[in-house]
């Protein structure tokens, strides 16, 4: 079947807008009436000693978020790498571990080679893929489809949030299998995840406000994204999206690393986008943000109403997101990151769906 833009100007806009629907689909597929997990029986975290997560590009940031989840939720040691490094660095894999390969296309050459390297060396090879007929799906012991539907825009959007959703459910299964979570605690988290599609729809309502900020961002030469905890990989994803389609140099940094280098770049010309839901790390991130402001940095703060009320004063701009459980905030904060990249690219007039030099699927090394 031919995939159409369905009234949107770009596939990317359509795919961003589809997220509440596809996330709801994925949650429905992998949960029994939203109450219990319905992941395959063979996916067993009880007896493994470690999970190793490997991907390229946007998928690698989904893995990075999942590392925090597996550790926090399940107390399971988690390791991440990008496939191009993993495949050549002679990684030491425990025979009792699980290796997880995340890929939208399921055909990325480095990720496939990484999967083949792990095969036979670990207890279980799992893939998290969008294309269920792909090589990475077929060659894994177990493939979990993310159910995002066809993604056409070169810059990944709905596949990222669907990857996060499936990885979140895997982390909950790990918590259950390892006795860290009761079935009731899992049901409670599933109920929270069930609110995400609604929160995502509300967040998409920020699109016009983002478009306004983007007219200024489009004039920047460099943009910095900062975040702590799971907002650190989100900062890197925000920077990746932005450079991919607007060609503005952007970097995602862990807030705490600011003073170890990037603070040297701060002046009134460099917008600094701070991703900071009001969670347990909020005060820490705000103190880093204030270091930026003390050096005339132009801060765009993304937080919830409570966070903006507490720390919005003196910032250049703010965007207020709905309040969300801090654990699952990355799934929601992906949306403004995507919208910022999209609207900045529109303001610059670049080709959003087909950015120069990039391919949707990188099947050669
Ligand atoms: C390319 C795409 C990215 C994607 C990456 C990994 O660089 O432009 O959007 O994240 O490949 O692709 P995969 O299909 O393995 O997720």
Q: What is the pLDDT of residues 82-140, one digit of tens each?
A: 999 999 999 999 999 999 999 999 999 999 999 999 999 999 999 999 999 999 999 99
Query: How many Cβ atoms from other residues are within 10 Å of residue 193's Cβ?
Result: 23
**103 CB within 6 A, ligand 1:** yes
pLDDT of residue 76: 98
Q: Is residue 313 over pLDDT 90?
A: yes
Ligand 1 centroid to residue 158 C-alpha, Å: 12
What is the best residue among 12, 58, 140 to mutate for testing ligand 1's pocket, by most ligand atoms within 8 Å of CB? 58
**What percent of the chain is predicted at pLDDT more than 90?**
91
Minimum-distance ligand 1 atom for the alpha carbon of 57: 10
Contact 315, 300 (CB under 8 A): yes
Does residue 270 surpass a pLDDT of 70? Answer: yes
| CB of 358 closer than 6 angstroms to any ligand 1 atom | yes
pLDDT digits (tens, 9 = 90+) for 187-234: 999 999 999 999 999 999 999 999 999 999 999 999 999 999 999 999
Using a 6 Å cutoff on CB, does residue 330 contact ligand 1? no
112, 362, 363, 365: which to mutate for ligand 1, most atoms within 8 A of CB? 362
Residue pair 162/18 in contact by the 8 Å Cβ criterion: no
**Would you say residue 1 has pLDDT above 80?**
no
| 59 CA distance to ligand 1 middle (Å) | 7
173 is catalytic: no
Q: pLDDT tens for residues 34-50?
A: 889 999 999 999 999 99
């Amino acid at each position: 079947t031919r995939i159409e833009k369905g009234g949107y100007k770009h596939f990317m806009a359509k795919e961003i807008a589809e997220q509440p629907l596809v996330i709801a689909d994925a949650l429905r597929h992998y949960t029994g009436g939203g109450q219990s997990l319905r992941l395959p029986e063979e996916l067993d975290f009880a007896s493994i000693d470690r999970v190793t997560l490997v991907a390229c590009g946007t998928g690698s940031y989904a893995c990075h978020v999942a590392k925090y989840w597996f550790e926090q939720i399940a107390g399971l040691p988690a390791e991440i790498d990008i496939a191009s490094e993993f495949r050549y660095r002679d990684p030491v894999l425990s025979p009792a571990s699980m290796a997880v390969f995340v890929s939208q296309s399921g055909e990325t050459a480095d990720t496939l080679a990484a999967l083949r390297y792990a095969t036979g060396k670990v207890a279980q090879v799992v893939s998290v893929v969008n294309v269920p007929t792909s090589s990475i799906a077929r060659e894994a012991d177990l493939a979990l489809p993310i159910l995002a539907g066809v993604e056409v825009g070169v810059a990944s959007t709905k596949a990222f949030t669907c990857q996060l959703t499936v990885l979140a459910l895997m982390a909950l299964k790990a918590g259950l299998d390892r006795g860290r979570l009761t079935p009731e605690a899992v049901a409670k988290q599933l109920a929270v995840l069930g609110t995400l599609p609604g929160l995502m729809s509300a967040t998409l309502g920020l699109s016009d406000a983002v478009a306004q900020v983007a007219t200024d961002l489009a004039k920047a030469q460099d943009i910095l994204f900062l975040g702590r905890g799971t907002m650190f990989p989100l900062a890197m994803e925000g920077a990746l999206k932005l450079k991919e389609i607007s060609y503005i140099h952007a970097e995602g940094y862990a807030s705490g690393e600011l003073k170890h280098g990037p603070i040297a770049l701060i002046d009134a010309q460099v917008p600094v986008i701070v991703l900071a839901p009001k969670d347990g790390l909020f005060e820490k991130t705000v103190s880093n943000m204030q270091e930026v402001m003390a050096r005339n940095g132009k801060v765009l703060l993304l937080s919830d109403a409570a966070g903006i009320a507490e720390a919005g004063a003196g910032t250049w701009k703010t965007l207020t997101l709905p309040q969300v459980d801090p654990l699952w905030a990355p799934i929601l904060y992906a949306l403004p990151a995507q919208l910022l990249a999209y609207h900045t690219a529109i303001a610059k007039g670049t080709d959003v769906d087909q950015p120069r030099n990039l391919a949707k699927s990188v099947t050669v090394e």
